[in-house]
Structure 1
Amino acid sequence: MQKEGFTPSRLALADYPISWGHMDYMRHVNNVQYLRFFESARINAFNDWEKEALDTQQFMSGVGIGPIMRSCELAWRYPMRYPDTISVAYKVSWIGEDRFGLKGIIISHNARKVAARIDEVLVTVNYDDGGTYKVQVPEPWQQILNNSLEENKPYVEQ
């Protein structure tokens, strides 16, 4: 995990229990659940990062300028089963003028290894204009994302 820049002590979703309802007919965690785990972790990370963005609008409110998922590439590496517990780590991988990349991993506590990896591209849009036009990442968020990128520090739940 270290070579990817993730540290298990810095998590966006920590010690999350897998429930029976997460499994599918094949008796492993349904593939769509992995996307939901990553979504919950990403929202946790943004909510925490937003606390650093003083004097700005709510970046995650769906009003004004905010991010929208452009694409994601998910790689399943290990079929998890109930019972298990997971943790999810996120980090900023790159920053552009109107978009940025995030990488994440899901760690299975039972298997003690990475169960899935995700590579996401988020674009900033103006939701007040219908969310169809790309806009520059707001300055406070550029700084927050740059700090995270430079420090290579994924989000840590407080």
Structure 2
Amino acid sequence: MLVQIKENHCKDLYAIFSSDENAKHITNKVHSNIHDTRKWFEKIDKQMTEGEAFYWGIYCKTDDALIGFIALHKIDKRTKSARIAYVLNRKYWGQGIMPKMLQALLNYLALQRDFKRLEATIKVSNLGSIRCIEKAGFKLKTILYDYQSDTKTDENHVRYFFVYDLSSSDNE
């Protein structure tokens, strides 16, 4: 289930961001303590308040925990496009959770008609994420050989660049 991320989710988010395994696949640095996660939350909370980004938490009822999130950031209102990002606690990988959550978000966004195009940049080594984004209907457009992340913590500068056209029915 997708929920609004709130400050009380920081403990669950710390479990994600403190994982070396998760850090291999995202551009954030590993959080060494809960304070790092709270600072990250303050940053995204400000972005959400200002309409610069949207973050949805993935909530697991069984475990009563936030186990991941999906975000839209780098929003361009002129072109009605945004970059999508997502992460899932390593404990829940391989269970089909993220493709379902991505599809739920894509269905919601198609109804809202606020966006025409979503983009995703994925490390070439992140095979699970590549399969996930392709299952959701994203199409590989190009390879970015000199990609620079916002956080400057990522030394791998090669990314696959995927696109999802919300104004088309060709995504299936």
Relative to its length, the structure with more strand (as a share) is 1
Tell me the TM-score normalized by structure 1. 0.23
Relative to its length, the structure with more helix (as a share) is 2
Between Structure 1 and Structure 2, whose CA radius of gyration is higher? 1
Tell me the TM-score normalized by structure 2. 0.22
